Amino acid sequence: MSVDARAMMELARRLFPEGSPLYRALQVYRPRICPFHVLVEAVPPGATVLDVGCGGGLFLALLAGSGRIARGVGFDAAAAAIDLARRAAARLPEGMLEFHHRNVGENWPDGLFDVVSVIDLLHHVPESARPQVIAEAAARVRPGGMLLVKDMAEGPFPYVLASLVHDLVLARQWVSFPKRADILAWAAQAGATLESERIDTMLWYRHHLFVFRKQEQAP
* Cα–Cα distance for residue pair 121/181, rounded to 1 Å: 17
Is 174 a residue whose pLDDT tops 50? no
Whether pLDDT at 188 is above 90: yes
DSSP characters over 96-159: SEEEEE--TTSPPPPS-EEEEEEES-GGGS-GGGHHHHHHHHHHTEEEEEEEEEEEEPP--HHH
What pLDDT digit, counting tens, does each position of 91-103 carry? 999 999 999 999 9
pLDDT band at 157 (very low <50, low <70, confident <90, very high): low
Domain boundaries of the chain, sorted by first residue: 5-214
Q: How far apart are CA 68 and CA 57, in angstroms?
A: 15
Q: What value does the mean pLDDT of the chain take?
A: 89
CA atoms of 211 and 142, how far apart (whole Å): 15
Question: What's the pTM value of the predicted model, to 2 decimals?
Answer: 0.90
Read off the pLDDT of residues 72-87 as tens digits, 9 standing for 90 and up. 999 999 999 999 999 9
Instruction: Give the model confidence (pLDDT) of 207-218 as tens digits.
Output: 999 999 998 875
User: Residue 53 has what pLDDT?
Assistant: 96
* More confident: 199 or 27: 199
**CATH architecture observed for domain 5-214:** 3-Layer(aba) Sandwich (3.40)
pLDDT at 40 over 60: yes
Please give the share of the chain, as a percent, with pLDDT higher than 90. 71
